[in-house]
Amino acid sequence: MAVIGIESSAHTFGVGIVDNGKVVANAKAMYKIGSKGMIPREVAETHLNNAANVIQEAVQEAGITFKEIEGIGYTKGPGIGHCLHVGLLSAKTLAKKLNIPIVPVNHGIGHIEIAKKRAKLRDPLALYVSGGNSQILKKYGDRYKILGETFDIGIGNMLDSLARSLELYPAWGSTVEKTAENGRYIEMPYTVKGMDFSFTGLLTHASKMKGKHNDKDICFSVQETAYAMLTEATERALLLTNSKELCVCGGVAQSKRLKRMLKGMAEEHNIKFGYAEDTFNADNGAMIALVAEQMLAHGRKAKLQECGIEQRYRIDEVKLWKE
Ligand code: FE2
């Protein structure tokens, strides 16, 4: 069953195609983030300009024709309203034109499911870390339960904001990680409460250090502190749920340092640890297609006129399928 998935929740317009769980295409085009961050209207305009080409590219990459596509999924949320609408419009148009079933997909579930699939894990605890989200989750029956999460901003937004306040460009996590190489540790605020955590205090404290310490030491210290917070909360969740597997997913899962820290912790407890390749941790259409294929196989198609977007669409609202 060839299913196409459209992702447009933030800076990426991604189109993926899966066939019986196998990714056969994963095309994408990205909005370049400048010093002002993401301007929703501009990002949406970029997606509109790229949409037709990326869809065409994915179909070519899969080596199929449009007629062979049997279902479509799109990101319903969470994300930026302007951007989500472009994906919704593209998906509805394709569904109508090709006369195929459509299903809305939660972006976070896409990240978790593709990590599970690529890492060959069956029932992992998931640490989902991206720009807007930072959560610890586990699937019980046909639903994910959020065991822990950020009290304020997502870790990715924190790292992007830090980069902007230190005037490091492109302002995102990988630039912070590169700057942090060979840095020395400076004391930073550390906030973990049970399995929840908070990043704004850390960001404010670090931003005030600009000029007083070098960028290398600030980036290193923020990174070590934030990742240690995530690792501590994840360790607690692993032990409380008696989980035997762990995956990390989402944009920030591209960080080598975070993966090293989690791997070390998982090894201490004899827990199998896995993650997807970077291209599937960055936003992509394949993860949406993967979830859509499963949802359609479980009869979850939606009525075209009822398809919409939800900027704050939480993972635990979604009824999935039992394994
Ligand atoms: Fe994402």
Question: Do 256 and 164 have their domain in common?
Answer: yes
Measured in Å, residue 30 CA sits from the centre of ligand 1 at: 13
Q: Distance between CA 278 and CA 248 in Å, rounded? A: 11
The alpha carbon of 131 and the centre of ligand 1 are apart by a number of angstroms equal to: 7
Cis peptide before 170 (omega within 30 of 0): yes
For residue 26, being part of any structural domain is answered with yes
Reading the block at residue 131, the tokens are 């720009």
CA distance 206 to 7: 33
In a domain, residue 322? The reply is no
pLDDT given at position 116: 98
Both tokens of residue 202?
């850390």
Shared domain check, 299 and 257:
no
226 and 128 within one domain: yes
115 within some domain: no
For residue 22, the 8-state DSSP code is E
24 alpha carbon to ligand 1 midpoint, in Å? 20
Say if residue 95 is in the same domain as residue 142.
no
CA of 111 to the centre of ligand 1 (A): 7
Q: How far is the CA of 31 from the centre of ligand 1 (A)?
A: 14
Half-sphere exposure in the Cβ direction for 249 (13 Å, CA): 29
Judgement on whether residues 286 and 273 belong to the same structural domain of the protein: no
Q: Report CA(251)–ligand 1 centroid distance (Å).
A: 6
- Would 323 be classed as within a structural domain? no
In this structure, is residue 7 part of a structural domain?
A: yes
**Distance between CA 9 and CA 107 in Å, rounded?**
8
C-alpha 48 to ligand 1 mean position (Å): 19
Same domain, 35 and 126: no
How many angstroms is it from 212 CA to the middle of ligand 1?
34
For residues 216 and 291, state if they share a domain.
no
pLDDT score recorded for residue 34: 75
Give the number of C-alpha atoms closer than 13 A to the C-alpha of residue 102, restricted to the C-beta side. 24
Whether omega for the bond prior to residue 78 falls within 30 degrees of 0, making it cis, is yes
Instruction: Look at residue 171 in the predicted model and tell me its pLDDT.
Output: 87
| φ, ψ for residue 209, nearest 5 deg | -85, -5
Residue 292 lies in a domain: yes
Q: What is the CATH number of the domain that holds 291?
A: 3.30.420.40
Q: What is the pTM of this model?
A: 0.96
Cα 19 to ligand 1 centroid, rounded to whole Å: 22
Q: Would you say residue 116 lies in a domain?
A: no
For residue 270 the two structure tokens come to 């004899």
| 113 CA distance to ligand 1 middle (Å) | 12
Please check whether residues 287 and 269 belong to one and the same domain: no
How far is the centre of ligand 1, averaged over its atoms, from the C-alpha of 295 (Å)? Answer: 19
Ligand 1 mean position to 152 CA, how many Å? Answer: 17
Q: Are residues 303 and 161 in the same domain?
A: no
In a domain, 140, yes or no: yes
Give yes or no: residues 138 and 211 share one domain: yes
Query: Could you tell me if 225 and 308 lie in one domain?
Result: no
What is the Å distance from ligand 1's center to 12 Cα? 9
Domain enclosing residue 28, as ranges: 2-110+280-317
Ligand 1: distance of its center to the CA of 190 in Å?
Answer: 25
Residues 55 and 11 in one domain: yes
Query: Per-residue confidence of the chain (323 residues) as pLDDT tens digits?
Result: 899 999 999 999 999 999 999 999 999 999 987 777 789 999 999 999 999 999 999 999 999 999 999 999 999 999 999 999 999 999 999 999 999 999 999 999 999 999 999 999 999 999 999 999 999 999 999 999 999 999 999 999 999 999 999 999 988 899 999 999 999 999 999 999 999 999 999 999 999 999 999 999 999 999 999 999 999 999 999 999 999 999 999 999 999 999 999 999 999 999 999 999 999 999 999 999 999 999 999 999 999 999 999 999 999 999 999 88
CA of 90 to the centre of ligand 1 (A): 19
205 alpha carbon – ligand 1 mean position (Å)? 26
**Total tally of structural domains belonging to the chain:** 2
Give residue 77's identity as a one-letter amino acid code. G
